[in-house]
Amino acid sequence: MILAYKISTPPRKRLLSPWSLLAATLLACGVHGSEAGNGNAVTASSIQASELVDIVAAKQQSGYGDTAVTPPFQSSTWLAALPSVSLSYLQSDERAGTDETEVSVNFPVKSPFLAARDKNLRQIGEQLQQLEQERRRLYLSGLIREALWSHKLASTRVAFSEKKVTQLASLLSRQQALFDARSASRYSLLLLQQEIADANLLLAEQRADRRRWHARYRQLTGLGNLPADIEEMPAPVGEAWQAHPLLRMLDLDWERQRSVIAASSARAQPWQVSLHAKQVDSPAFTEDQYGVAVDVPLSFLDTAAESSTSDWRASRRSYWQQRDELQLQLAQRWQALQTEAVYLRERQSLLESAASASQELVRETRTLMGENELGREIWLRRELAYLDRQAEVAINQLRIGENRAMSRHAAGLPL
C-alpha cells in the first residue's frame, strides 16, 4: 500500500513529527498483519508427498543397467547338485574271459534335513526382498523429507524477510522525502539505510538457500512443483524404532546365515541315488544287469565339522555386535527427536507469548517515544524486533512439523 503525503508549513504551526509519520507508515503497511506464507518462487502442486517416493524410485530404477530382481540361476527342490554319469569298461586279457561294460547315473538327492533348510532359505529370501523394498522406500523418504522441509523453512524465512524489506523500503522512501523537505534528521535516514542493507543481505542469503533446496528437490524427483501439504501424522508412541526395517533385516539375515551354515554342515550331506546298467559279455553268454544303489549318510547322529561350529560362533558374534550398535543408533535418534519435540512445543508457546508482549511493547514505545532521537531508535528497534518475533513463531511451528516427519522416519515409517 502506497501513501502520498502533502507536507505543508502553515505559519506558526509545527511540522508533523517525522517519527510519527514513520509510525503511521508502519501501521498503513500492516506491520502487524497476517503471517507470511511460503515463498512463491515455486508453485505448489496437488501432488501428495507419499507419491513422491514412487516417482523417485521409478526415476532411479530407470537409470539402472540391470533391473532383474531374480537370480540368473535356480535351485532344485530335490537335487543337491548336478547329476553325474559314470561309464566303465573292463576287458579281460583271457581268451575265455569276461568283458564288463557298466553305465551309472548318479543323483545327489537332498536329505530331508537339507530340503527343510532350503525351504527355509527360500522363505527368508522372499521376506528379505520385501524388507529391502521397505528399506529403499524409507531411504528415499528421508531424502524427500529433508528436501521438502528444508525448502519450506527457507521459503518461510524468505517471505518474512521480503515483508521486512518492503516495509523498510517504504519507510526509507518516506524518510527521504522528509529529509529532502528538511523535516527530518539525517540520523534517522542513515539508520533506515543501514537496516535495509542488512535486511537485503540476509534476504539474498535466504533466497540462495531456497534455490539450493529447490535444486536438490528437482534433482531428486525431476519435478519443479512441490506438494502443497507436507504435514504428517504424529509418530507412534513408545519404542517405535524397534520395528525399524533395518533392525528386522538384520534379524532375518542372521536367521539366513544360520540356515546357510546348517545347510553346509555334515548333517546336510545329500543322499546318493545311482541307477546302474551293466553288461557282462563272455564266450558262453551275454548278461544284462540293472540295479539301484542308495548311499544314505547317518545324519541322525547330529554331528558336524568343527569348521561349521566355528562359522556359527563367528556369525553370532558379528550379528550381536551389529545389532547392539544399530539398536543404540536408532534409540538415540528416536530419543533425541522426542526430546526436541517437547522443546519445540514449549518454545512455540513461549514465542507466541513473547510476540504478543513485543506487540504491546511496540505500542507503548510508540506512545512514549517523544522527541528524543535515541528513543526513536529504540522504537524502530522494537518494530523490527516484533517482525523477527513473528518470523520465529512461524519457523518454530514448521520445525514442529519437521520433527513429526523425522520421528516417523526414525520409527521406520516411509512416506
- Render pLDDT for 355-380 as a digit per residue (tens, 0 to 9): 777 777 666 666 655 545 445 556 56
At 225, give phi and psi (nearest 5°): -90, 145
Query: pLDDT for 37-89, tens place per residue?
Result: 344 334 446 788 888 888 888 887 776 655 556 666 777 888 888 899 999 99
Q: What is the pLDDT of residue 378?
A: 61
Q: What is the pLDDT of residue 306?
A: 75
Q: What is the pLDDT of residue 69?
A: 60
Whether the pLDDT of residue 340 is over 60: the answer is yes
Q: What is the pLDDT of residue 97?
A: 83
Highest mean pLDDT out of 129-133, 260-264, 306-310: 129-133
CA nearest to 78, candidates 121, 119, 38 = 119
Whether the pLDDT of residue 32 is over 90: the answer is no
Whether the pLDDT of residue 105 is over 90: the answer is yes
Which 3 state secondary structure label does DSSP give 84?
strand
Whether the pLDDT of residue 386 is over 80: the answer is no
Q: What is the pLDDT of residue 367?
A: 64
Where do we find the cell 539474498? 204
Q: What is the pLDDT of residue 149?
A: 94
Whether the pLDDT of residue 126 is over 70: the answer is yes
| C-alpha to C-alpha distances, 201 to 157, 161, 194, 205, 282, nearest whole angstrom | 13, 10, 11, 7, 108
Query: pLDDT for 161-196, tens place per residue?
Result: 998 898 888 878 877 887 777 766 777 778 888 888
* Of the listed ranges 69-78, 120-129, 139-148, 404-413, the one predicted with least confidence: 69-78
Instruction: Give DSSP secondary structure letters for 349-369.
Output: HHHHHHHHHHHHHHHHHHHH-
384 vs 90 pLDDT, higher one: 90
Q: Are 412 and 334 in contact (CB under 8 A)?
A: no
Q: Extract the C-alpha cell encoding 345.
A: 512445543
Q: Which helix (H) or strand (E) holds 88?
A: strand 84-90
Q: What is the mean pLDDT of the chain?
A: 79
Q: What is the pLDDT of residue 18?
A: 37
Q: Which helix (H) or strand (E) holds 295?
A: strand 286-295
